[in-house]
Structure formats: C-alpha cells, structure tokens
Structure 1
Amino acid sequence: MRFSPTQKGASRTLLQPLRTTLANSRLSPRAFSKSEPRRSIMNMHSAPAKPRGIVAVRADASGDMKNILTNLQKDWQAYKDTQAEKDKEVENRFDDVVTTEKFDRIDASVSDLQAAVDQANAKLAAFEMNGGAEGERDPEYSESFRAHMRKGDVQAALNKGADDEGGYLAPTEWDRTIIDRLSEVSPMRQIADVQKVGKSGFTVLINQGGTGSGWVGETDARPETTTPTLVAFTLGNGEIYANPGATQQMLDDSEIDLESWLAGEVDTEFAEQEGAAFVAGNGTNKPAGFLSFATGGVNANRNPLGAVEVLPAAGAAVVTEDELLDMIYDIPSSYSAGARFIMNRKSMGKVRKLRDGDGRQLWQPSSQAGQPSQLLAHPLTEMPDMPDMTSGALSIGFGNFKRGYRIMDRWGVRILRDPFTAKPKVLFYTTKRVGGAVIDPRGLRVLRHA
C-alpha cells in the first residue's frame, strides 16, 4: 500500500487524503450516495472535486486501510452475533425492535466499510494499470492546450490537434487522467477487458470450431480434415458527451486548476452513463450491455456463439444458496478461475444474510487490502446498475467478465471550447467514443427471478 516519493507526487490527482470520518465504526452514507447534487460552478475555487461514490485514500494510507479493515471485521462479527439473536427471536415468535434497529445499523456499517475498501482498491488498481508515475509526454502541446482552454488563444503548437470542427484532442496526460478516473468509478471497467481502438468499429473473429481429426496407422493415408469456421463479429461504439461551463472572468481571474476541475466534471457524467450502458445498454448509439445478450434480450441473437444463458430463481425477490451454486457450476471449468458475482447493493444486503447448513455466512468481507469481498469463495463486485431482486428481474450475474465482455475506447478525448452559445459562460463540449459488447457468452450466466 506504500509508494515511492516519486509515485506519491504523480498520484496526487488520483489519491486524495482520506477525509471520511469513521464514527462508531461507520462511514457516512453520504460518501456513497449517487444522488449528490451536481457541483456548482461557483465552487471551483476549492480543491478538485472527487467523483461521486468515491472515498479518497492517500498513497500512504496503509494505516487508514488497516483501521477500516479492523472495523470491518469487528462489525462483521457483531453482524453475525446480532443475526443469531434475531434467529432466536423468530423461533420464539418475538420481534424486538431494539435488536432489529441494531441489526440494520450494523448491516449499513458493514456495507459502508466494505465499499470504502473496494473503492480504495479500485483507485490503486487504476493508478497501477495506467502508467503510474509517467511524466508529460508532450509538454509543449499540453501547455498550449491549457492556454487555449483559459483564454481561447490558438497557438501554432496546438494546430496538430485541430480538426475541421474546431475541436482539439486533449493531451495524452489529460486523456489518461480521464481513463484513470473512469476506471475508479465504473465497476465494469475494473472487471472487463478494455481495449483502445483507432477506428469507428472493431471486428472480432470468432472460432466456431469444426476442426476434424482421426486415428491412423503408421503407413495409412492421411486425407485432409475439415477446417474450423471463423465468423466475424463487428462491435460498434457510441459517443458520450459532457458540456460543463464557466464564466470567462472566472477563467481569467481564478487560480483554479482548470484541467482538474474539467476532468472532475467529465468523469462524473461519463461514468454514470457508461455504467448503465455496460450493464443494460441496447447498443443503439451506446454500448450493448451484457444483460441485453441474455436469452430473450434485444441482442440475444447477435453473437455467433449464442446468448448468455439465464438460470431460474424460484423466488420473486429472494435467492437461495443452491441457486447461486447452480450459477457457479453451470459455466465451463476453463472460465471459473477468473469468475465473479455481480449485483447491486440491495441484493448484496439480502445475500449477506444467507447461511449454509452449518450456520456459516455465504458472504465474507475483505480481510486485507486489495482483496474483494467473497461469496461462496468467489469475488463479489457491487454493480449499482444491476436490477433489484424483483419479479422477472435479472438481478445477479456470474462469470468471467474479463473474457466475456469487452469495452472499446476510441483513443482520444475531444474538447470544443464554446464561448458563444451560453454567454457569459464558456462551455467545454467534451466527447468520447466508447463501445462494449459480449464477445464470449459461454462463460457468463445471469439469474432471473420468477
């Protein structure tokens, strides 16, 4: 959990100080709320804002992480003890409201503390995956870009990023920062395969098998056998945009870090839109979510390898251990090594209460930094855009998403500085092209409630 002094300096925009207070072994639910109002442009004088749903962690936050993990283990033990009390009350047909309130409070605390661990792990993983302490690759262009964003001056060094619409490609460092922050906020980016592409589409050749073979003697003839069939599967992409604005006087007079502020505004909007599309997008001007490839979905017939198989849950709003085990053992063994569960927070709350025949919880919290929570010995990722456990819903996914789902990033974030549309504000029209689709449905499963 510790970085060198050079890495600490480079990671300053990614790993902010831990500001969340642990009160009674609980993190503030507000730290994880997705309903926080959009930040006002008048708050730009403050430090760069963090994306919603993110708990900031220092680069040297090993002590803080140790405290969080310690409190998580304590609350988890209290959770199990309180659940045992509730079980006794149910057996005696008695419901103590005090015990119920205590149980709900500890349950919320466990959720918040586990979310803090998951977000800290995501930040560190994003930092390591995207270059760490690399310096600026093109200082001249970066400086010209900053000047243009603030004053609108077009310098010769900036022309290499120009196109016929007057937009400019953001410098490599700024583009990398956006990808870093999206990796922190979007759970699908953390578990899926992410590739950068330079064209509007991306074609995958899928091997449908069909290679023939046979047994022969030493001198027997060896006729030609059948060859495998390759089918092209083309993945498109959509365009996502953000359009934050600031007055020209504020840009002229303030000492704000314009790039950090703009990156904070953009990653918040992009992450929320991407997260929903990667899960349930229909593929029209947006990524095709993996649920849309499930049997009966709008893209069920699109992949040459077939649809993502759907397994049934007998209950309309509950799930059992046997149904979760069916998901685990229904995928081929070659996909199981990297397989994980995904579900939203409400579903996690229900699954946390499940116990096996010996009374042990099926869900286990993180025990060390870098380790996710576990469900039946498989990692569990919280996916806010997954449906709740309701009648007919596809509430739980399981499988190897690194092999099953691919995200395509068209390289380069494009920015158009617009001082005319909303005077006296200057708008920064920012676009990014991204796509996503299931490329191998054989290692993915989803659960549908009755």
Structure 2
Amino acid sequence: MIKTQISRDHAALMTKRALFGVYERKDGEPSLAAVKETIDATARAFEEFKKKNDQELEEIKKKGAADVVTVEEVKRINAQITELSQKYRDLQTKMQRPAAGGGNGETNETKTAHRQAFDTYFRKGRGDGELRELEAKAFTGQSNPDGGFLVPTEMSSEIDRVLGTVSVMRSLATVIAIGTGAYKKLVNVGGAASGWVGETEARPATATPTLEELVFNTMELYANPAATQTVLDDATLDLATWLANEVNVEFAEQEGAAFITGSGVNRPRGLLSYTKVANASYTWGKVGYVATGASGAFVAAANGPGDCLIELIHALKSGYRNGATFLMSDLTCAAVRKLKDTEGNYLWRPGLTEDKVDTLLGKPVAYDDNMPAMASDSFSIAFGNFKRAYLIIDRAGVQVLRDPYSNKPYVHFYTTKRVGGGIQNYEAIKLLKFAAS
C-alpha cells in the first residue's frame, strides 16, 4: 500500500513537472527535456488509465456497476492525459515559433523606405503622408488609408507564421494567398467517360465532363491590440513579433470557430455548416456521415463501439485515406480513449515520441475544441484528407489603423486581414453522427 502511494505521488510529481514547465529555459522557450518529460508522463498516465479502465469494466461485468472510487480514478487519469496532450501541443507550438528580431532581409529601396515610414507611424503616429505615398508606389490597389495602412511584408509574414502554428485547421487544410477579394476554381463533378479500345477499333464519343465553379470570398477579420506610448518608445521592441503575438490569439480563436461552424455570411463557411446526408446517399455538394448507432454516445462495449469508426474510415475513398486525419475535441477524445477492439486492445494510442502524434485505429488525431461535444445528433468527429477537403484563402496584406484617442493613455492598433474558407472537395471528408441512424 505504501509502495503504491509512493508510486502515485511520484507519477503525480512527474506530471506536474511536465505540466508546469520545470524544464523551460531561462528565455521562456521550452527545452527538449520538457518535451521528453511530457511524452514520458503521457506514457505513464496512459498505462495507468488502461489498468483503471479495465478494472472499471471488470467491476461492471461482475457487479453490474463500478465502484465509485474506480470511476473517479478513471476520470482523473483521463483528464490528466488530456492536460498532458494539450501541454505537448503547446510545447510544439512554442518551439515552432520564429525567434524575435526577425525580418526577411528585404533590400528593395521602396519597401525599405516603407518599412521605416511604417515604424515611425506605428510608434509615433507621424509620417502618414509619406507612408501613403510609398504605399501608392509599392502596393497599388491594396492600400486603403481610411481603413489603415498595409503592414510591411515581414510583419505580415510574421502574423501568418504565428497563426499557422496555433490554428488547427490552418495546419490541416490547404492555405493559399490571393491579391483579390475572391478565389474561384472549377471542379469536375461528373467526369468525362473513358475506356479501353484496341488499336484499330472505333473510338465512341465520350461524355462531356460536368464542371462546377466554386467561389470562396474573403471576409474581414479584426483585432484591436493596445500598448502604452512608453512601450512603443522602446527601440528594442520588435514590432513584427509584438503585433503578431498580440493579434494571433484573437485571430486564431475567430478563425478556428469559423472554419468549423461558420455560416459563410461575413465569415468563412465551416465544414459542419454544409448539408449532411447518410453516406449511402452521398452526392456532390453534401457531406456524408456514418452514425454511431446510439443517441449522443457510442454503442455499449458488448456491441462493438469502435465499429462505427472503422466504417467511418472506409466511408472515405481509398485515394483520400492516405493523409487523412481524425478531428475532434478533447472532450470527445476522453470518451474515445476508452474504446477497445474485440481482442481488448485500445483503439486510441498516444504519440510517445517527439515526431509522433496521437493515433486512432492507426490514423492521426488532431484536436480542436471548436468541434462539438458528444450530444444527441451531434457531428463530433470528422475524418478526412483536409488538405484536399478544405481550402483557406488569405488575401495578401494586413492593415493597421493607429488610434491614440479612444482609450488614453493606450494606443490601439485596429488590425484587419481578409480571410475566406470552405470545402473544396466533398468526397475528401466524412463525419461521425452520434445518433441511432
């Protein structure tokens, strides 16, 4: 008993060390030791979770109900794994961020002058006339002084880089930059007929392919960070890094929700906002789904709760499965972790090396808490080749309008960018519906 308690205390200590950054470097950046310790703590927690979950299942089998203490232990360890998983993702994000003081080494004289003028405008609120003239030379058609000035290229790139590390859908989907307000593409939804013929045989006429135009409009996304003039007067402040760090959280939260549930009105259209049909009735323009067989849940353990996930994988055409990923919230994953196959093997596995991710039935799992929690008729899990399924459009250029008057002594920077998004290939994504059918 004493040995067991010491073991538990040691595991708890290791978990806390991983969760609360014992191994962060003095400069605030995570070390490789922190990553390794988080991975090791996850492995230990998952082994403990399996033992306790098996104990709970055995108690239910023998007594009809599990001991309250066992149930609470399973919940505690499950939550611990979720925390560790989030900690690991946070560490990865921090390690992928570029260091402060960057810049792309731009030597073009006009752009260099623009960068210097923007710096003066940003810090002091002066030189907007010179900045307007420079933008007219270098950024024809994109400058809009009434709505702000275009930030220099390296600052815009910094914002995009940071967003790319914190936005789940941006890391999964295809992202392109355009210079206009909308992006159009033609897709072949019918296909031209084809076949095999001998060398001298007649070639029958083939059907004309059915083409459909997809239009992705960009909508305005904004953030309004603030700083004191004292901070702005600090010559060591790297403006690109400061602005990126200030706006990325707001941008990422707004984008993240829109890419999943957005209506398409004044925001991107989210992957869950399209018409959904049972996969057997799938047609282009709709998203096919597979049902779990139970309202708001997986079916009971005796009935094969993981079968619907296998069906979901194979609902996707084989050409899309290579590169496909599960997408769900952390809450949904907590339920998925308990699922086992007929031989008693757990379907979910944690990524236990630095270059590995969590897997479900051998497929990668990505987590986005914008995905709905399990509920009656909810579409809480998506499985797809998101690079081919979903398109994110960035209109080139981020604009900033300086406002020193609205909230003295703070200077606000009304920052805007235009973003669009939507499904570009309906075949490349399927959903899991938590319902009887």
- Secondary structure in 1 matching 2:322: helix
Q: Which amino acid aligns with 2:362?
A: A
Q: Show the 5 A alignment for 1:406-417.
A: 406-417=391-402
Q: Note if contact 1:145-1:171 (Cα within 8 Å) is conserved in structure 2.
A: yes
State the partner residue of 1:368.
Answer: 353
**CA distance, structure 1, for counterparts of residue 234 and residue 352 of structure 2:** 48
For residue 296 of structure 1, report the CA deviation from its aligned partner. 6.7
State the partner residue of 2:59.
Answer: 89
1:117 to 84, 88, 92: 88
Change (3 A) 1:141 1:361: same
Q: Deviations over 1:144-196 (max 9, x none)?
A: 32221110111636742353416211112211121122112211011111111
State the partner residue of 1:438.
Answer: 423
**CA distance, structure 2, for counterparts of residue 388 and residue 215 of structure 1:** 49
**CA distance, structure 2, for counterparts of residue 215 and residue 369 of structure 1:** 49
**CA distance, structure 1, for counterparts of residue 220 and residue 352 of structure 2:** 40
For residue 447 of structure 1, report the CA deviation from its aligned partner. 1.5
Q: Note if contact 2:19-2:87 (Cα within 8 Å) is conserved in structure 1.
A: no
State the partner residue of 1:25.
Answer: 15
**CA distance, structure 1, for counterparts of residue 265 and residue 72 of structure 2:** 45
Q: Note if contact 1:72-1:113 (Cα within 8 Å) is conserved in structure 2.
A: yes
1:316 to 295, 298, 310: 295
**2:182 paired with 1:201:** yes
Q: Which amino acid aligns with 1:314?
A: G
State the partner residue of 1:378.
Answer: 363
Change (3 A) 1:236 1:414: same
**2:76 paired with 1:105:** yes
- Secondary structure in 2 matching 1:358: coil
**CA distance, structure 2, for counterparts of residue 396 and residue 166 of structure 1:** 40
Q: Note if contact 1:167-1:416 (Cα within 8 Å) is conserved in structure 2.
A: yes
**2:50 paired with 1:77:** no
**CA distance, structure 1, for counterparts of residue 411 and residue 98 of structure 2:** 31
**2:120 paired with 1:147:** yes
**CA distance, structure 2, for counterparts of residue 139 and residue 80 of structure 1:** 59
Q: Note if contact 2:263-2:273 (Cα within 8 Å) is conserved in structure 1.
A: yes
**CA distance, structure 1, for counterparts of residue 337 and residue 196 of structure 2:** 53
**CA distance, structure 2, for counterparts of residue 378 and residue 115 of structure 1:** 19
For residue 264 of structure 1, report the CA deviation from its aligned partner. 2.0
Runs (5+) with no aligned partner, structure 1: 1-21, 32-46, 49-55, 298-302
**2:244 paired with 1:274:** no
- Secondary structure in 2 matching 1:290: coil
Q: Note if contact 2:379-2:433 (Cα within 8 Å) is conserved in structure 1.
A: yes
- Secondary structure in 2 matching 1:246: strand
For residue 250 of structure 1, report the CA deviation from its aligned partner. 5.0
For residue 79 of structure 1, report the CA deviation from its aligned partner. 1.1
**CA distance, structure 1, for counterparts of residue 53 and residue 348 of structure 2:** 14
TM-score normalised by the chain length of structure 2:
0.82
Change (3 A) 1:278 1:27: farther
For residue 256 of structure 1, report the CA deviation from its aligned partner. 5.0
Q: Note if contact 1:119-1:184 (Cα within 8 Å) is conserved in structure 2.
A: no
Change (3 A) 1:160 1:104: same
Change (3 A) 1:443 1:154: same
For residue 266 of structure 1, report the CA deviation from its aligned partner. 0.8
Q: Note if contact 1:347-1:395 (Cα within 8 Å) is conserved in structure 2.
A: yes
For residue 267 of structure 1, report the CA deviation from its aligned partner. 0.7
For residue 410 of structure 1, report the CA deviation from its aligned partner. 0.6
Q: Deviations over 1:332-381 (max 9, x none)?
A: 10000011111111100000011111111110000211211000110011
State the partner residue of 2:271.
Answer: 290
**CA distance, structure 2, for counterparts of residue 202 and residue 252 of structure 1:** 40
For residue 314 of structure 1, report the CA deviation from its aligned partner. 1.9
- Secondary structure in 2 matching 1:406: strand
**CA distance, structure 2, for counterparts of residue 296 and residue 27 of structure 1:** 46
For residue 29 of structure 1, report the CA deviation from its aligned partner. 7.6
- Secondary structure in 1 matching 2:276: coil
For residue 384 of structure 1, report the CA deviation from its aligned partner. 0.7
**CA distance, structure 2, for counterparts of residue 29 and residue 65 of structure 1:** 10
Q: Note if contact 1:28-1:112 (Cα within 8 Å) is conserved in structure 2.
A: no
For residue 66 of structure 1, report the CA deviation from its aligned partner. 1.7
Q: Deviations over 1:198-219 (max 9, x none)?
A: 1100001101244234555544
State the partner residue of 1:18.
Answer: none
For residue 306 of structure 1, report the CA deviation from its aligned partner. 2.0
- Secondary structure in 2 matching 1:408: strand
Q: Deviations over 1:111-152 (max 9, x none)?
A: 122222233344556769xxx987332554333322211101
State the partner residue of 2:163.
Answer: 182
State the partner residue of 2:105.
Answer: 136
Q: Deviations over 1:218-275 (max 9, x none)?
A: 4444454333232211111211101122344553479655543332221111111000
Choose 1 or 2 for highest CA Rg.
2
Q: Note if contact 1:317-1:391 (Cα within 8 Å) is conserved in structure 2.
A: yes
For residue 57 of structure 1, report the CA deviation from its aligned partner. 4.8
TM-score normalised by the chain length of structure 1:
0.80
Change (3 A) 1:347 1:218: closer
**CA distance, structure 2, for counterparts of residue 216 and residue 446 of structure 1:** 40
**CA distance, structure 2, for counterparts of residue 375 and residue 117 of structure 1:** 18
**2:276 paired with 1:305:** no
Instruction: Report percent identity of matched pairs.
Output: 37
Runs (5+) with no aligned partner, structure 2: 1-11, 136-142, 299-304
Change (3 A) 1:356 1:165: same
**CA distance, structure 2, for counterparts of residue 433 and residue 304 of structure 1:** 31
**CA distance, structure 2, for counterparts of residue 234 and residue 189 of structure 1:** 19
- Aligned pair count reads 397
Change (3 A) 1:180 1:308: same
1:235 to 212, 216, 221: 216
Q: Note if contact 1:339-1:399 (Cα within 8 Å) is conserved in structure 2.
A: yes
Q: Note if contact 1:414-1:430 (Cα within 8 Å) is conserved in structure 2.
A: yes
**2:410 paired with 1:421:** no
